């Protein structure tokens, strides 16, 4: 009898548990149903209780820029709730102007962005706000306006473009394949290290040596970008596991290189001051910041200088190289663009040679040495002013940036509640992200041919015509507009003017071309090409 009673009690307990689970399940399902019902008619990705749109965003992570294009085509503003914040993505120039200029003070980089990127960019100009940002920008602005730096940059950009041409001419004669993105990354890294920090690192040497700094920098860039959608990154960082453990190793390699650069430049400056060797003084950006650090009131430490170096690396290496990579891809896949650009460069060459009374060498495609001599002679016709007259070349680069902006999206923090011009309410503590990649593909911004590659859209009566920086946002706009814009165009025009004058590029059959998710819009698999010479 006692056993029967015990069994009855056990069943009663189990029935109670089952009822409780069933009741809880009904509540959860009702909660999810009510949440989904409340979302009906709203434009944007599907959201769920607690996790927001994290599931859909994670599933589309590798193609996130095109994922956003789909939603921003239907609505100029979309709100994407995430577990710990809410992202508001904007593609309307009026909203962009409000965020980047009109109410600039309310939309800083913010604590969230800073925490994600601090391990790589520290307190550099791209990762800080307020007085720290203003001081760095003032110094950098002064340097970029310097004629000495501009002239020095022109010489350096020409030097490394010629080094690249020499490598490519060898490749074309031996009928090899080449990863153009890798070569361009090497060229721009060598260039920024010489222009920005006064050092030669030789990654574009003919034997193409491996560079641990460049590899570590790319790895770190990918991992810090992943933090934006990885809610567990702080746990992995605390436990030093997974991607965060790899990030830690990469940062150590990056820091070893960067601090060695700083020590070398400090030693050279000290030697110059001690011996009055003015010829050793270099017109690089790091030297200017080192001079400032000697002022006791500057608060610039070696760590501050490290942050300066890495911020300029990501600005001067990655952005320029990826734009050049996409530009070559667009040129080679649009025959009429390649032909018109070649004709502009050839006509420019003949006109400049006539102006300077230069007799052009006989072009001989059968001999490597004479080919390089001919190309070297051509580059002597290129300088800051003459490159400025290549309007179609400028339009090709700009059209590339419209469709493939180096920075495809740029998030800002929100200090106080605000209302955007289109009526969208944004809450303090959230993020607003303007999306250059999407903006360039919106018909409401560029017309029915928005997705077409048409450099001609930038020309009027043969001359280049700018668009509003709040519509063409590749260089940002407002108080944070890119200081290195002219320098970037100078290097890109120098490189393309040389490469597209002497070579034709063909994509290796079957090579996949798509982007890799990181702060910069690089190609996931590089750009594998075959190269042939043209006279």
In this prediction the pTM is 0.86
- Is residue 288 a part of any domain in this protein? no
pLDDT digits (tens, 9 = 90+) for 271-318: 877 776 554 556 678 888 888 888 777 778 899 999 988 988 888 888
Q: CA-to-CA distance for 318 and 519, rounded, in angstroms? A: 10
In a domain, 40, yes or no: yes
Q: What is the dihedral of CA 188, 193, 195, 196, to 10 degrees?
A: 120
Closest CA to 90 of 82, 105, 103, 80: 80
Sign of CA dihedral 226, 231, 236, 241: negative
pLDDT in tens, 98-120: 999 999 999 998 888 889 999 99
> For the segment 410-453, what is each residue's pLDDT rounded down to a tens digit?
999 999 999 999 999 999 999 999 999 999 999 999 999 999 99
- Return the structure tokens found at 429: 């503590």
> Residue range 205-211: average pLDDT?
89
* pLDDT at 322 (0 to 100): 96
| 388 within a domain of the structure (yes/no) | no
Residue 427 domain-assigned (yes or no): yes
| 177 token code pair | 């394949």
Angstrom distance (rounded) from CA 410 to CA 432: 8
CATH number for 60: 3.30.43.20
Q: What is the pLDDT of residue 21?
A: 61
Q: For residue 298, how many C-alpha atoms fall within 13 Å in the half-sphere facing its CB?
A: 16
- Count CB atoms within 10 A of the CB of residue 373: 14
Distances (CA, A) of 478 to 68, 74, 99: 24, 27, 9
Q: Give the containing element (helix H, strand E) for 503.
A: strand 503-507
The answer to the question of residue 85 being in a domain is: yes
Overall residue count recorded for the chain in this entry: 535
Mean pLDDT of the chain: 87
Residue 8 pLDDT: 53
Cα distance between residue 209 and residue 186, in whole Å: 10
Pairing of strands 431-434, 86-90: parallel
pLDDT of 31 reads 43
Total domains in the chain come to 1
What is the C-alpha to C-alpha distance for residues 28 and 392, in angstroms, rounded to an integer? 60
pLDDT given at position 518: 83
Q: Is the pLDDT score of 161 beyond 70?
A: yes
Among 117, 342, 363, which Cα is nearest to 221's?
117
pLDDT confidence of residue 38? 45
The pLDDT of residue 5 is above 70:
no
- Binding-site annotation: residue ranges: 482
- Collect all residues with Cβ–Cβ distance below 8 Å to 220 and sequence separation of at least 6: 119, 120, 247, 250, 251, 254
Q: Is 9 inside a domain boundary?
A: no
**Range with lowest mean pLDDT among 16-20, 294-298, 338-342, 487-491:** 16-20
**Which residues, including other chains, have CB under 8 Å from residue 524's CB and lie 6 or more apart?**
512, 514, 515, 516
Intra-chain end-to-end CA distance of the chain, in Å: 106
**Binding site for heme: what residues are annotated?**
482
Mean pLDDT, to the nearest integer, of 127-156? 87
Token pair, residue 50, equals 């607690």
Q: How far is CA 499 from CA 342, 385, 420, 535, in A?
A: 10, 19, 44, 12
Q: What is the extent of the structural domain holding 97?
A: 35-106+406-454
* pLDDT per residue as tens digits for the range 45-71: 776 565 566 677 778 878 889 999 999
Q: Are 432 and 88 in contact (CB under 8 A)?
A: yes
Q: Is residue 471 part of a domain?
A: no
Whether 48 is in a domain gets the answer: yes
Name 115's Cβ contacts closer than 8 Å, sequence gap at least 6.
Answer: none
């Amino acid at each position: 009898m006692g056993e029967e009673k015990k069994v009855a009690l056990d069943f009663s307990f189990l029935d109670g548990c089952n009822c409780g689970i069933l009741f809880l399940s009904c509540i959860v399902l009702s909660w999810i149903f009510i949440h989904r019902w409340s979302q009906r008619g709203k434009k944007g990705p599907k959201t769920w209780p607690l996790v927001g749109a994290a599931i859909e965003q994670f599933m589309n992570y590798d193609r996130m820029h095109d994922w956003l294009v789909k939603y921003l085509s239907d609505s100029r503003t979309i709100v994407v709730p995430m577990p710990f914040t809410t992202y508001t993505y904007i593609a309307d120039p009026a909203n962009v102007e409000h965020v980047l200029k009109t109410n600039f003070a309310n939309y800083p980089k913010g604590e969230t962005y800073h925490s994600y990127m601090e391990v790589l960019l520290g307190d550099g100009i791209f990762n800080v706000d307020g007085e720290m940002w203003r001081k760095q920008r003032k110094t950098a602005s002064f340097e970029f306006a310097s004629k000495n730096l501009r002239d020095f940059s022109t010489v350096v950009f020409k030097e490394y473009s010629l080094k690249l041409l020499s490598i490519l001419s060898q490749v074309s004669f031996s009928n090899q394949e080449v990863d153009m993105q890798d070569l361009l990354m090497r060229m721009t890294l060598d260039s920024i290290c010489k222009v920005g920090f006064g050092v030669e690192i030789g990654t574009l040497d003919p034997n193409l040596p491996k560079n641990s700094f460049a590899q570590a920098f790319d790895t770190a860039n990918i991992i810090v970008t992943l933090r934006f959608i990885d809610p567990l990154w702080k746990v992995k960082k605390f436990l030093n596991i997974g991607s965060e453990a790899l990030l830690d190793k990469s940062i150590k390699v990056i820091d070893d290189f960067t601090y060695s650069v700083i020590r070398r430049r400090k030693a050279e400056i000290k030697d110059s001051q001690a011996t009055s060797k003015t010829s050793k003084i270099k017109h690089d950006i790091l030297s200017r910041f080192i001079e400032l650090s000697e002022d006791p009131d500057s608060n610039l430490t070696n760590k501050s200088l490290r942050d300066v170096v890495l911020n300029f690396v990501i600005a001067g290496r990655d952005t320029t190289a990826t734009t050049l990579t996409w530009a070559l891809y667009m040129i080679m896949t649009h025959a009429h663009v390649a032909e018109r650009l070649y004709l502009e460069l050839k006509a420019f060459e003949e006109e400049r040679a006539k102006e300077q009374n230069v007799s052009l060498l006989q072009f001989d495609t059968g001999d490597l040495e004479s080919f390089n001599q001919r190309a070297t002679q051509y580059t002597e016709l290129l300088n800051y002013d003459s490159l400025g007259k290549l309007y179609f070349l400028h339009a090709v680069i700009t059209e590339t940036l419209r469709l493939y902006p180096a920075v495809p999206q740029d998030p800002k923090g929100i200090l106080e509640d605000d209302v955007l011009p289109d009526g969208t309410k944004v809450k303090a503590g959230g993020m607003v992200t303007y999306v250059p990649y999407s903006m360039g593909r919106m018909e409401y911004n560029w017309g029915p041919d928005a997705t077409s590659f048409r450099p001609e859209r930038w020309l009027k009566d043969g001359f280049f015509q700018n668009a509003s920086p709040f519509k063409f946002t590749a260089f940002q706009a407002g108080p944070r507009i890119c200081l290195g814009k002219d320098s970037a165009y100078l290097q890109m025009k120098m490189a393309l003017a040389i490469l597209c004058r002497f070579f034709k590029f063909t994509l290796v059959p079957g090579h996949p071309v798509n982007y890799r998710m990181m702060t910069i819009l690089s190609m996931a698999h590089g750009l594998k090409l075959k190269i042939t010479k043209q006279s």
